[in-house]
Amino acid sequence: MNQLHESLRDNVRELGDYLGQTISHHLGDEFLEKIETIRHLAKADRVGDHSDNSLQDYLSNLSDDELLPVARAFNQFLNLANIAEQHYRARYRKTENYEALEQHSIVTLFNHLATQSISPEEIWQTITDMRIDLVMTAHPTEVNRRTLIQKYDAIADNLDQLENESLYLDQREKIQNRIRQLVEQAWHTDEIRHQRPTPVDEAKWGFVVIENSLWQAVPEFYRYLNQGLKATTGRSLPLDCSPIRFASWMGGDRDGNPNVTAKVTQEVLLLARWMAADLYLRDIDQLLNELSMWQCNDGLRAEVGEETKEPYRVLLRGLRRRLQVTQEWIEDQLDGHSRDERPDAVLIDTEELKAPLKLCYQSLIDCGMSRIAKGALLDTLRRASCFGLNLLKLDIRQDSGRHADVIAEICQALDLGDYRSWSEPEKQHFLLTELRSCRPLIPHNWQPSADVQEVIDTCRVVAQQSEEALGSYVISMAHHASDVLAVHLLLKECGCPFPMRVVPLFETLDDLDRSSEVIGSLMRIEWYQDRIRGEQEIMIGYSDSSKDAGQLAAAWGQYRAQEELVKVCKRHGVHLTLFHGRGGTVGRGGGPARSAILAQPPSSVSGSLRVTEQGEMIRFKFGLPDIAQRSMEIYVSAVLEATLQPPPSVKALWREEMNLLAERALQSYRHQVRDVPDFVPYFRAITPEQELAKLPLGSRPAKRRADGGVESLRAIPWIFAWTQIRLMLPAWLGSDIALSDAVQEGELPLIREMMEKWPFFTTYMDMLEMVLTKSDANVARYYEKKLVPEKLHPLGDVLCARLDNLKQTVMQIRDRKTLQEHMPLIAEAVRVRNPYIDPLHVLQAELLQRDRSQPGNGQVEQALMVTMAGIAAGLRNTG
């Protein structure tokens, strides 16, 4: 059997020992023995026939007082195992699926492309033109509190230090003692928030990721990229070039979140600018300490004067003062003490920040001090090109219906008619007439409803910002061209002085199928073509399409939509950037980034890409500097490869087969979810969906409508709930019938050909197999036995049988005896975690039963939330 790397096992064991010592010291040896007993029973249960109820019996006999510390012990161990794994991946340059990164490194790719008749100039130009936006979102899938994350990061830092083989014995002991302290601190820290974070809290968490990790990782990555570029092409990465930028939805995503208001958005924008200024001030202080040289070129001398003995310091002191004034002005804005006029020294755009830095850089180069120029000074310039003055570009997201409400109320106030009853051509005619008009549309002294006023206030906040502070205005549930034109009109009416990108988000299967028609109708409008200036961004929704149609049908719908959108934009001479709204789980489009990018249709990744990084995946991919560097390398290399060596076009036979598979899967999925009367009661009984609302994960409500059923449930809690019980249903339901029917109908040779030669289908099957490896029908059956009325058990039998049959079908297609034979370390990672996750499953079922029979017990509710956090940490798939 393949084993996890010895150093990873050693670190897991060492951290586990420290946790055991902490538990023993706090709760006594007897309690630690209970934890060990539970772990051994869980291991025995895994190798047995699951008929022995020893683990279940032992845990069901725990008192309410014991439930919480037991849950906390297993939760903490799983978090410590994740720390050890992240450290291992960073140190040994492993990708998300444990492959050695050298197999897919940017340097390896440069060398490969050079052998494929791709010129060095083409490689250099593609990199310098590349635009990748990684968009951090506040979707509530990060279960750990920020204070714990900081302790976990500190543990990882100390594990790094221990790798130094030249440490003296007392140094090693000092570091190990520090790790013990941090483990103990984590144990004595409450894992669960007692209040939901506000949108501002979420935004601040995003700033922490930049401060603690990306601020260091970005210049290090660009230094590495520059070395590879220079070796391959003979040319360096320009100072102003940043192929990767970072954006955010935290404080801007108001879709279904009443807590994100115009005031919140304004505050988050100001806080981001303040944080950026603060980070640059730290850089400038370091540069003032280092750049003590007296020799400079004529350009710098002309700026600081002939008599200056330390020209670099003089120039940088001026920049430092401007950053300080900028911070003070922002603080006044945040405190509500706005001045009548903005001070002249306030930095307005990033070029004002970069100009003195560039002057210093060029002077050092000209004076033969290039080694000094390419040290801390170049790092700051790289940061400025990536983060700008605003740290993160803030996206705005709002539902299309809210914009229609504004237009409808305006029309009603002006006695223009019932906007909502108009046909689509009538709406477009009205909106375009107003867009071309010079007169204002919003009535003077008009008193709209509160919801409409909020949308207008948001547009006015947007209009007050600099263009570089903002990313895209995303319209969720976009159905028609008028949805896009309406936002352009509202921004115009609120005085927005620049053409902000307005991005339709196509989410349901029907909307994906109609997306090219909607974009085509926009492209035929001369005003619109002039407005977008040859650039169109379109967002593809993964979460809601999967919830609407099932994973297989949704994945194919997303692929087909992208193919058609590429054709439409190419026909109109417009460059298309696709914005992928991927989540952390397979059910929401998640999976290894490289595979996902290379699986996209030909020409859909043409040097540009936007993608969401959500919840806990932000920490797993960018929380530590070394891993952040690897993650950025994966993105840049994958976009470069997809641009210069796009995947093959889909064969007609593959397309025909995929249409057939998707249709089978769609019918099966929708029948099960929509037409089986017992499905919703079963879902609500077996999963912690109802209790999930008590877990204060994020600022956004779990449902779009408080009175809605499953159809109104957001994709995140829908998937979270099924993941908690290990049934993973949203990621595979429908695929089972589609694939088994294909095998029975003699389509196996074609399926295998698609899996071998078509990256889209290869990636789909890889992700399906990974989900099946983490799924466990026996765990789900235990929840059923404890929580589900007996009359609903037949439905559970059907679902578990479908899951088990799918596993057999996938192994038959793969011609393998076990799942993940080709990626054994993933299977091993799941296997070694199971003895720690299984007790949490049993505890959770017990706690759900107690909570539902006697609600209001604070100890039970707290322990229940800890089990949710622990299972999420163990599976690393929450939402």
Q: What is the pLDDT of residues 258-276, one digit of tens each?
A: 999 999 999 999 999 999 9
pLDDT value, residue 6 = 76
End-to-end CA distance of the chain: 31
For residue 245, give both structure tokens.
């930028």
Pairwise pLDDT comparison (339 vs 330), residue with the higher score: 330
Residue 709 burial (10 A CB sphere; 0-12, 13-18, 19+) = exposed
Please state which of the ranges 134-138, 510-514, 518-522 shows the lowest mean pLDDT.
134-138
> Which amino acid, residue 467?
E
pLDDT band at 627 (very low <50, low <70, confident <90, very high): confident
d(CA 280, CA 282) in angstroms, rounded, equals 5
Determine the distance from the C-alpha atom of residue 492 to the mean position of all C-alpha atoms in its chain, rounded to a whole number.
Answer: 31
Q: Which residues contact 709 (CB under 8 A, 6 or more apart)?
A: 680
**Helix residue ranges, H only, 367-496:** 370-372, 378-387, 400-413, 424-436, 450-463, 481-493
Q: What is the pLDDT of residues 418-445, one digit of tens each?
A: 999 999 999 999 999 999 999 999 988 8
pLDDT value, residue 587 = 43
The count of other CB atoms within 10 Å of the CB of residue 445 is 4
Tell me if residue 594 falls in helix, strand or coil.
helix
pLDDT value, residue 52 = 66
pLDDT at 699 over 80: no
pLDDT at 710 over 70: no
The structural domains of the chain, with segments of one domain joined by +, span 651-875
Q: Would you mind telling me the total number of residues written for the chain in this entry?
A: 879
Residues 469-490 have a mean pLDDT of 97
Residues 37-50 have a mean pLDDT of 82
> Which residues belong to the active site?
139, 547
pLDDT at 322 over 90: yes
pLDDT at 713 over 70: no
pLDDT band at 455 (very low <50, low <70, confident <90, very high): very high
Tell me if residue 791 falls in helix, strand or coil.
helix
Q: What is the pLDDT of residues 340-399, one digit of tens each?
A: 688 999 999 999 999 999 999 999 999 999 999 999 999 999 999 999 999 999 999 999
Please state which of the ranges 74-88, 469-483, 668-682 shows the lowest mean pLDDT.
74-88
Q: What is the pLDDT of residues 742-753, one digit of tens each?
A: 999 999 999 999
For residue 308, give both structure tokens.
């200056």
- Across the chain, what does the average pLDDT equal? 90
**Residues 332-357: b if buried by 16+ CB within 10 A, e if exposed:** ebeeeeeeeeeeeebbeebeebbebb
pLDDT value, residue 129 = 97
Q: What is the pLDDT of residues 551-607, one digit of tens each?
A: 999 999 999 999 999 999 999 999 999 999 875 444 444 467 888 899 999 999 999
Residues 142-159 have a mean pLDDT of 79
pLDDT value, residue 706 = 47
pLDDT band at 696 (very low <50, low <70, confident <90, very high): low
d(CA 554, CA 583) in angstroms, rounded, equals 14
pLDDT at 877 over 60: no
Backbone φ, ψ for residue 244 (5° rounding): -110, 130
pLDDT band at 543 (very low <50, low <70, confident <90, very high): confident
pLDDT value, residue 125 = 97
